[in-house]
Amino acid sequence: MSPTLHSMGVLNTDGTPHRVLATSTEPVLGGKKFMKAPPFSYVRAPSLADAFKLWSDAGPDAKLLAGGQSLLATLAFRLSEPSALIDISRVPELAGIAQSGGVIRVGALTTHAELGASELIH
């Protein structure tokens, strides 16, 4: 079973509920208000096909999450309010470095460290 967005949260691949990330509209810590991300659902896509299905099911307000450095900052300041985050950081089809027919393919999730260590790049 593929993971699915669910009206009450997110279901794991085995159909069990997954933790949904959500925050209060006025979070307080030690008596002081601070910025926090708006409520949203989260699901990790195990494959590229699942990522496209989840994104389609989640609707136009959903966002893809890979590294998250820019997105997490916009969430914290509520500059972005996605209905769902679809984590593609572990989708194997988007990672790695391979050579085929004289062409080197670098996956979108390939890190700088992996590029630097690759025998194909040097």
Do both 57 and 107 map to the same domain? no
pLDDT of 109 > 70? The answer is yes
Is 34 in a helix, a strand, or coil? coil
Do both 119 and 72 map to the same domain? no
Q: What pTM value is reported for the model?
A: 0.66
Do both 40 and 12 map to the same domain? yes
Q: State the pLDDT confidence band at 122, using cuts at 50, 70 and 90.
A: confident
Do both 108 and 51 map to the same domain? no
Do both 15 and 53 map to the same domain? yes
Residue-level pLDDT at 78: 82
Residue-level pLDDT at 79: 84
Do both 69 and 116 map to the same domain? no
Do both 110 and 71 map to the same domain? no
Residue 114 belongs to what domain range?
Answer: 93-122
* Buried/exposed 9-41: b ≥16 CB within 10 Å, e otherwise: ebbeeeeeebebbeeeeeeeeeeeeeebbeebb
Q: What is the CATH number of the domain that holds 61?
A: 3.30.43.10
Do both 32 and 63 map to the same domain? yes
Q: Which residues pair with 84 in a beta bridge?
A: 41
> Average pLDDT of the chain?
79
Give the pLDDT confidence of 18-74 residue by residue, as tens digits.
Answer: 554 444 444 444 555 556 777 888 899 999 999 999 999 999 999 999 987 788 888
User: How many structural domains is the chain composed of?
Assistant: 2
Residue-level pLDDT at 48: 95
Do both 78 and 98 map to the same domain? no
pLDDT of 5 > 90? The answer is no
Do both 79 and 19 map to the same domain? yes
Amino acid at 55: W
Distance CA 59, CA 56 (A): 6
Do both 79 and 98 map to the same domain? no
Do both 29 and 61 map to the same domain? yes
Q: State the pLDDT confidence band at 110, using cuts at 50, 70 and 90.
A: very high
Contact 11, 3 (CB under 8 A): yes
